[in-house]
Structure 1
Amino acid sequence: MITIATLEDVSVLEKLINSAYRGETSKRGWTTEAHLLEGKRITEDELAEIIQNKENTILKFTNNDTIIGCVLLVNKGKKLYLGMLTVSPELQNSGIGKKLLQEAEVHASALGLPKIVMTVISIRKELIDWYNRHGYLDTGVREPFPLNDTDAIIANQPLEFIVLEKII
């Protein structure tokens, strides 16, 4: 079931997101960034701030009362920004990410937004290919990779974001 996350979900979401992106647990899934970055992907305070902003929606995918996936959607006026698509590492490749992407399109349509954009680390070829298969195309735009206080780059090549877009 996909519903909107609330402040009550912050602690569980923080653990889920960090387990899927960073650290040893993330290596069980194919979307890990553990070979590129160390540190937390997000904190509970950052998540609470995101949820409290009326332009943001975090959709959560729940099964048997357990949150096993989520995605951040940000209303950017003429487009919807999609970020932090997360699926529990043990459950990746089971269709949950695809269902969250589909629900993001429903959300964008409900807001009257004609396209969804996202940023992906440029050297994440397998992830970019997955998004391509779901209709997201490289816009040619590149953005610098921002570091926060909890990030440490361990990649042996420079990191930057590519901007992907899907017209819905």
Structure 2
Amino acid sequence: MITIATLEDVSTLEKLINSAYRGETSKKGWATEANLLEGKRITLDELEEIIKNKENTILKYTENNQIIGSVLLSNKGNKLYLGMLSISPELQNRGLGKKLLQEAEVHALSLGLPKIVMTVITIREKLIEWYKRHGYVDTGVREPFLLNDSDSIITDQHLEFMVLEKIL
């Protein structure tokens, strides 16, 4: 079941998002950043601020009363920004990410927004290909990768973001 996350979900979401992106646990899934970055992907305080901002919605995917997936959706006026798509590493490859993407499209259209945009680290080729299979295209725009306070880069490869979009 996909519903909107609330402040009561912050602790569970923080664990899910961090486990999906970083650390040893994330390596159980295919969408990990653990070979590129160390540190927390998000903090409790950052998640609280995101949820408190009325331009943001975090959708949560719940199964058996456990949050196993989530995605951040931010209203940017003429487009919806999609970020932090997270699926529990042990449950990746079950179509849960696809369901969250579909629900993001429903959300965008309900707000009257004609497109969804996102940023993905350019060297995450497998992930970029997955998004392309779901209708996202490379806009050609690149943005600098800026470190959070808790991030540290553990690769020699240059990190930058690719901007992907899907017209609805």
Aligned pairs (5 A) from 1:5-154? 5-154=5-154
* CA–CA separation in structure 1 for the residues paired with 2:136 and 2:10: 28
Tell me by how many angstroms 1:34 deviates.
0.3
The two structures have a TM-score, normalised by structure 2, of: 1.00
Residues 67-108 of structure 1 show CA distances to partners (whole Å, capped at 9, x for unaligned) of 000000000000000000000000000010000000000000
| Secondary structure, aligned partner of 1:113 | coil
Aligned letter for 2:52? Q
Runs of 4+ in 1 over 4 A off after TM superposition: none
Tell me by how many angstroms 1:162 deviates.
0.2
* CA–CA separation in structure 1 for the residues paired with 2:72 and 2:9: 13
| Secondary structure, aligned partner of 1:147 | coil
Identity of aligned residues (%): 80
Give the gaps of 5 or more residues in structure 1: none
* CA–CA separation in structure 2 for the residues paired with 1:22 and 1:93: 18
Aligned letter for 2:40? K
* CA–CA separation in structure 1 for the residues paired with 2:53 and 2:34: 29
* CA–CA separation in structure 1 for the residues paired with 2:46 and 2:78: 25
Tell me by how many angstroms 1:155 deviates.
1.2
- Residue equivalent to 2:162: 162
Aligned letter for 2:138? D
Aligned letter for 2:6? T
Matched residues, number: 168
* CA–CA separation in structure 2 for the residues paired with 1:22 and 1:104: 24
Aligned letter for 2:50? I
Aligned letter for 2:13? L
| Secondary structure, aligned partner of 2:98 | helix
The two structures have a TM-score, normalised by structure 1, of: 1.00
